[in-house]
Structure formats: structure tokens, C-alpha cells
Amino acid sequence: MHPRSPYVAYVDFRKLGQECPGFAPYVNANSNVDFRNPAAVRELAKSLLARDFGLTVELPEDRLCPMIPNRLDYILWIQDLIDSTSCDLTSESNPSSPVTGLDVGTGASCIYPLLGCTLRPSWRFIATDVDHDSLQSASCNITANAVLLGDRIQLHETGVEWPLFSLDTLGIENIDFTMCNPPFYTSTTALAESAAKKALPPSSACTGTPTEMVYTPTGEVGFAKRMLQESIVLGTRIRWYTTLFGKLSSVSTFVSELRTIPQLGESGNWAVTEMVQGTTRRWAVAWSFGDRKPLPGGRPAALKGCFPSVPSELEFGVDRSYEEVCGEVMVLLAGLELLQIKRDGGEFYGEAKGNVWSRAARRAMAKGSMDATGDEVNVRLGFLVTVKAEGRKASVRVRWKRGRDGVLFESFCGMVKRKLQLER
């Protein structure tokens, strides 16, 4: 579960029943809930949305009922993605800068736009679906929360054969991200089999209806490949393309496909994350054609080899004050042959044309024999070091901002951490 999720600790159903009386009848003597009962599952979702997000939501009986903790995890991961790869290279991203997302297949709940806009007042959403009835219900949910959300969610009815990313139809030039919880199954039989395994009635609130869950004949992989094809045409008009998967085998298939696209495979500008809630596992994949680096995300062992090999940031604590650490960072960076250094408070942006912290490079610099000339083309690494005060101590984050050489970035992180933690 995402560390920022309020559901990291288990949900106390009895307490929730006390706080949301509509839910109380579904809590049994063991303080548990019967997840095979669609009414209980719906009431749980409504109560969590009301209590934890101040949202008033109606969920029709004949449509998929969202599991709130897992929907939230996907939204929080996208927040990380957007925050850690802001367009502005030289400073940390600002969570209040405007962001527009597209939710493909928003469903009757409109869950992702509701959560996304509630958590971030500067976010807007375009939400599409092919299901007219679901959109009607989504529209009611938006209206019911108009005080909180204003006009930040725009609904759009599309057709089955229409583009999934309908920027041109909507007359929109650029957006920040797309997200999608696609129809997972390849056939109604596969859907029924999966429901049987979980001992759920087919087409219950928990499994969804065939229109929501089935994309014949290729299921989630086919849906994701359609998105990938469209993304190749749209390129950087969308900063991040993302989608969810319900099966691990689909992730591997999709990632292999992604690797064959030259602009993606070579740059490693994509990432996978695994989201675990109880016994349910979901995976999200993101990819981008922009000159930015991935990415937040765990590295589930089962997906070894599926990841860009290097994480895009390193965070650690230093046992000295903010002022002291800032001073040390400045001295450290000034002692390297960097192409540029820009400081703004506790944020230090730098660019290097190679490994200028190696022993040989430092020796050459001391002798004054290193070639310091450089230009834009030679930037092999752009990084941002951010120092923050944590009481009387400081935390340091090194973020990868430019370049494609993961080994170089890892080596830089290692050097900064070693120097700052060993200082004194």
C-alpha cells in the first residue's frame, strides 16, 4: 500500500460503522464484513469516501463498485509520477501547479477524478466512457460534490471504436497524464471463472458487469496496446501515459511490447509499480516520450527484469542542521567540474558531462588539467539535490533530472551520500 494512504493501517469496520450509521448494519459480530454481499461492499465504499474524503457518492447496483484503497493507491502513484518529473528541471515540483489528467473508462462512480481532484485542488480531469448509463451516474456524483470540485471534472461520452485519447475531438493540445482501469477480461467466461474462484456471484458489485469488465478478444493487454499505439502518435502531447493491470502475465507481455518501441525501450522512460491490498494485487505501468526520467515505484521480486534498472531518486538523513548541510552540499558541488550549478535556498541543480567525481577526474581538476568547457549537448547528467530541515537534523534528496545513464546517476548518488554521511 502507498505510504501516504490512510489505509496503511487496517480499516476498523466497527469504528466506521459508528461514524457512518449506514454502514453499521453490515458489520458482523466479529467486526467483519461479508464481501460477497454487494450491498455491504457498496456501503463500505460510500462510507470511506464520505468519512475520509468528504465525498458524497451514489453507486448504482448494476455497476462496478470501486474498492477505495486500491483506487487511491493508483492516484497516489500518479501524484508521485507527476511530482517527481516536473517540467521545471531546476526546482522541486509544486503540488499546487495545474495538472490535467484523462481517465479512460471512468465508470459509474467516476472514482479516479473524484479522488484526484479532492486530494489536489489544482488538478482537473477529463473523464470518458462508452457506457451512457454509467456517465449519467458519474455526472450525478460530480454534481453532488460541486462545492468541493467546482467544474474541474469534464465528462465525455465516446464510442467503442473511437480513439481512447480523444484530445483532438476535445480540442485540447496537451495534458499531463492518462490513467485507465481497463476491462480486464478476454471473455465473459473468463470473468465468470474468476468470480467463481473468489466465491462471488458473477456480475456482482465486486466483479462488475461484462460491459465494464470484458474487452473481447484481447482483454487488458489488448486495451493497453491500443493505448500504446495511440501514444506513439500523440508523443509528448501527453506527459505520462499510465494504465492498470489485473494480471502479472499481462504486465510482462505489455512491457515486452513497450521495449520494442525505440523511443521507449532505449530511454527506459517507463516504470511499473505493484499495488497490494490484502490478497489483491494490481500493477500500474507508466511510459513517457518526454526527456524526463522515471520514476517512483516499488520493485516487486516477481517482476525482476521488468524495471528500468535504476530508481530515479535517493533520500537519506544527515545528523546535522539544515544550514550546515546546505553549506556542505555547496562546497561539495563547487569542488566538481560541473557544467552549471544553480542554487535556490535548499535546492541545488547541477549538470555534469560525465563522472566528474571519480578519483581521476578530481585529480585532474586539482592539477587544473581538466577540460571544463561544455555545452548543452554534453550534459550526461542533470540532478537536483534538495536539503530539508527535519527538526535539528536534515534530510537530503538527490533526484535524477536529465540524462540517460543510470549507472552515472547511481554513482553520483552514492558519492553524495558517502560524503555527507561521513562528513566529520
Interacting residue ranges for ligand SAH, rule: CB under 6 A: 64, 66, 71, 104-107, 109, 111-112, 128-131, 134, 158, 160, 164, 181, 183, 208, 211-212
* Whole-number Å distance between alpha carbons of 13 and 45: 12
Q: What angle do CA 409, 413, 419 make, to 5 degrees?
A: 145
Q: Which is nearer to ligand SAH, 183 or 350 (CB)?
A: 183
Nearer to ligand SAH, 213 or 314 (CB): 213
Q: What DSSP string describes 324-384?
A: HHHHHHHHHHHTS--SEEEEETTEEEEEESS-TTSHHHHHHHHHT-S-----GGG--EEEE
Closer of 149 and 381 to ligand SAH (Cβ): 149
Cβ closest to ligand SAH, residue 2 vs residue 71: 71
Smallest separation (angstroms) from ligand SAH to the CB of 409: 34
Minimum CB distance to ligand SAH smaller for 155 or for 338: 155
> Which three cell numbers, joined as nine digits, stand for 346?
535548499
Residue with smallest beta-carbon separation from ligand SAH: 105
**Least distance from ligand SAH to the Cβ atom of residue 215, Å:** 7
For the beta sheet containing 175-180, the strands, ordered from the edge strand earlier in sequence to the opposite edge, are: 153-157, 123-129, 99-104, 175-180, 238-245, 280-287, 270-277
- Do 65 and 38 meet the contact criterion of CB atoms below 8 Å apart? yes
β-bridge mates for residue 56, sequence order = none
Least separation in angstroms between residue 231's CB and ligand SAH is: 15
Whether the bond into 170 is cis, omega within 30 of 0: no
Nearest distance from C-beta of residue 143 to ligand SAH, angstroms: 18
**Bridge partner list, 316:** 396
Q: Phi and psi of 111, rounded to 5°?
A: -60, -45
User: For residues 412 and 343, what is the distance between their CA atoms, to the nearest angstrom?
Assistant: 18
What does the buried/exposed string (b/e) look like for 181-206 if buried means 16 or more CB atoms within 10 Å of the residue's CB?
bbbbbbeeeebbebbeeeebeebbbb
- Give the nearer residue to ligand SAH in terms of CB position, either 129 or 351: 129
CB-count burial class (<10 Å; 0-12, 13-18, 19+) for 91? middle
In the complex, the smallest distance separating the C-beta of residue 161 from ligand SAH, rounded to whole angstroms, is 8
Provide, rounded to whole angstroms, the least separation between the CB of residue 199 and ligand SAH.
21
Nearer to ligand SAH, 113 or 297 (CB): 113
Q: Which residue has the cell 521545471?
A: 88
- The least CB distance from residue 175 to ligand SAH, in Å, is 16
- Cβ distance to ligand SAH smaller for residue 179 or 416: 179
Choice between 212 and 328, CB closer to ligand SAH: 212
Q: Shortest gap between Cβ of 246 and ligand SAH (angstroms)? A: 11
CB distance 105 to 135 below 8 Å? no
Q: How far is the CB of 128 from ligand SAH (least distance, A)?
A: 5
CA separation for the pair 23, 41 (Å, rounded): 10
Q: Collect all residues with Cβ–Cβ distance below 8 Å to 301 and sequence separation of at least 6.
A: none
